[in-house]
Amino acid sequence: MDFFIYSIRMLSRASGLVSACLVAGSVLVVCQMVVVRYFLGESTIWQTDFVTYGLACSVFLGAPYVAQIKGHVNVDLLTMYASPRYQRVLAYITLTFALLFALLFSYTGWELWYEAWDGGWTTESIWELPLWIPYLALPVGMTLLSLEYVADAICMITNNDEVPFGTEPGGHS
């Protein structure tokens, strides 16, 4: 069981790494695009699509890792003041909703991906990027997110001190 949890945590981290690389890559591509468009006066073909879809993918692929480090911002007013017993009850409720969310978008995400693959959908630009490539990030990310919460649930059941979405200052404001 420990190995199962460990593997999920590592997979989420790997997915987060890909997400961060997509952010870094997008910065480079935006700069390249600015140079090509404004300094060389040429038109750009693939850059806008790459950056737009790349960052959308980075969000879905980054979500499991952000969940692991409790980075999805939440209202922790009740959890802060509740007694440890109620904190546990609240934790189970939150985990159920979070898992429901992740499963909903895994399921609909795989459906969408299959439709795009089967129908040969492409982007509207001249580049005509097949849409199944960026769409893949949604089901993959959300499936990992579901697994991440399954792992959390296992930790919570077997271990008494794990509370999901603990207070963590430093969210964006």
Partner 1 sequence: MSPLTIGALLCATTIIILATGVPVAFTLALVGVGFLMIFDGASSIDIVAETFFASISHFTLVSIPMFILMGSAVACSPAAKDLYEALDRWLYRVPGGLIIANLGACSVFSALSGSSPATCAAIGKMGIPEMRARGYPASLATGAIAAGGTLGILIPPSITMIVYGIATETSIGRLFLAGVIPGMMLTALFMTWALYTAKSNGYDFSSEAGRYSLMDKLNVLPRVIPFVLVIVGVLYVLYGGIATPSEAAGVGAMFCVLLSVVIYKIRDAKRLWGMLSASMKESVMILMIIAASELFSFTLSSLYITQSVAEGIAGLDVNRWVLLGLINLFLLVAGFFLPPVAVILMTAPILLPIIQSAGFDPYWFAVVFTINMEIGLITPPVGLNLYVINGICKDVSLPTILKGSYPFVLCMMLAIVILAVFPEIVLWLPDYVMGPEIK
- Closest CB to partner 1 among residues 27, 157: 27
Q: How far is the CB of 36 from partner 1 (least distance, A)?
A: 11
Nearest Cα to 68, choosing from 137, 6, 1, 123?
Answer: 6
Alpha helices in the chain (DSSP H): 2-34, 47-68, 77-81, 84-119, 132-135, 137-158
Positions touching partner 1 (CB under 8 A) are: 16, 19-20, 23-24, 26-28, 30-31, 33-34, 38, 48, 51-53, 55-56, 58-59, 62-63, 65-66, 69, 71-80, 90-91, 93-94, 97-98, 100-101, 104-105, 108-109, 111-112, 134-135, 138, 165, 169-173
Tokens of 83: 């007694």
- Closest CB to partner 1 among residues 4, 10: 10
For 87, other C-beta atoms within 10 Å of its C-beta total: 16
Q: What is the Cα Rg of the chain in Å? A: 20
Helix (H) or strand (E) holding 159: none
Residue 88 backbone phi and psi in degrees, to 5: -65, -45
- Closest CB to partner 1 among residues 4, 114: 114
Q: How far is the CB of 7 from partner 1 (least distance, A)?
A: 21
Q: How far is the CB of 128 from partner 1 (least distance, A)?
A: 15
- Closest CB to partner 1 among residues 1, 126: 126
